[in-house]
């Protein structure tokens, strides 16, 4: 059973702080990793994707991937109340176009 | 990214009835995906819909319960048949093999 694990939270951070969201996955052959943001009652929207070990930065967001540890994280710098949402980690299973989603981490940014 | 229109956005249905959800994409895509998101849960893939062939269902999902049509490269439907309260979920269509993009979702309540 291929799995993606996330801490459900809520993770509370003050406005302006760095939010760190973590995700582990079980399929060592996974190639592609994604972070989605989902506001309550809305569909998921893609924030970041990462394919290679290391860091990938896009504005206030940084995705980090460590394939040896089967670990992917998302850092949100200068967190804003508008960042309050559930963040879903998704992994594309090897050899397919199918995604396995984690259960999501609920982030609350306190003004 | 693709623009995906999904309807209805929500519905309340009587148990034992069926509901057909439509998904329209603004560009031709080979694969379309249908997900279910139960309350407080993450996304679970129901099936993959390819134009010109039968949909491929994931473990735990069967064609009799979730028949899917894919008449062309921009459109698909998912029917939830013989509904029970356990079918109350958000149903999402998705496209994209490199990154997944989602429709707005259909919030289904079965009473």
Above pLDDT 90, what percent of chain B?
84
From A42, A45, A102, residue closest to B42, measured CB to CB: A102
Collapse the DSSP code of A28 into the 3-class scheme (helix H, G, I; strand E, B; otherwise coil) and give the result: coil
Q: Are B65 and B81 in contact (CB under 8 A)?
A: yes
pLDDT in tens, A9-48: 899 999 999 999 999 999 988 889 999 999 998 999 999 9
Say yes or no: A7 contacts chain B, CB-CB below 8 A: no
For residue B43, list chain A residues with Cβ-Cβ distance below 8 A.
Answer: 44, 88, 99, 101
Query: How much is the pLDDT for B100?
Result: 87
Please tell me the distance in Å from A13's CA to the nearest CA on chain B. 22
Stretch among B12-16, B42-46, B94-98 having the lowest mean pLDDT: B94-98
Q: At A102, phi and psi to the nearest 5?
A: -75, 175
Above pLDDT 70, what percent of chain A?
100
Q: B43 vs A103: CB contact, 8 Å cut-off?
A: no
Q: Rounded distance, CA A24 to CA A7, Å?
A: 10
CB atoms within 10 A of CB B97: 14
Q: Are A95 and A32 in contact (CB under 8 A)?
A: no
Q: B105 vs A34: CB contact, 8 Å cut-off?
A: no
Question: Does B51 have pLDDT greater than 80?
Answer: yes
Q: B104 vs A44: CB contact, 8 Å cut-off?
A: no
Q: Are B73 and B30 in contact (CB under 8 A)?
A: yes
Say how many CB pairs under 8 Å bridge A and B: 40
Query: How much is the pLDDT for A82?
Result: 96
pLDDT in tens, B24-50: 999 999 999 999 999 888 899 999 998
Say yes or no: B84 contacts chain A, CB-CB below 8 A: no
From A99, A103, A104, residue closest to B100, measured CB to CB: A99
């Amino acid at each position: 059973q291929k799995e993606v694990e996330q801490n459900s939270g809520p993770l509370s951070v003050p406005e302006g702080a760095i939010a760190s969201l973590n995700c582990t996955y079980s399929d060592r052959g996974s190639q592609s990793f994604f972070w989605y943001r989902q506001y309550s009652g809305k569909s998921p929207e893609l924030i970041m994707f990462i394919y290679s070990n290391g860091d990938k930065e896009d504005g206030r967001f940084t995705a980090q991937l460590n394939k040896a540890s089967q670990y992917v994280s998302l850092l949100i710098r200068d967190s804003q109340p508008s960042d309050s949402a559930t963040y879903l980690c998704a992994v594309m299973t090897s050899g397919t176009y199918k995604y396995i989603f984690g259960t999501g981490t609920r982030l609350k940014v306190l003004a | 990214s693709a623009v995906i229109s999904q309807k209805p956005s929500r519905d309340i249905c009587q148990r034992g009835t069926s509901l057909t959800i439509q998904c329209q994409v603004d560009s031709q895509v080979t694969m379309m995906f249908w997900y279910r998101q139960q309350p407080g849960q993450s996304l679970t893939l129901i099936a993959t819909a390819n134009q010109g062939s039968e949909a491929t269902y994931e473990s735990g999902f069967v064609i009799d319960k979730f028949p899917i049509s894919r008449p062309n490269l921009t459109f698909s439907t998912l029917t939830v048949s013989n509904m029970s309260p356990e079918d109350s979920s958000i149903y999402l269509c998705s496209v994209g093999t490199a990154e997944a993009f989602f429709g707005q979702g259909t919030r289904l309540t079965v009473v």
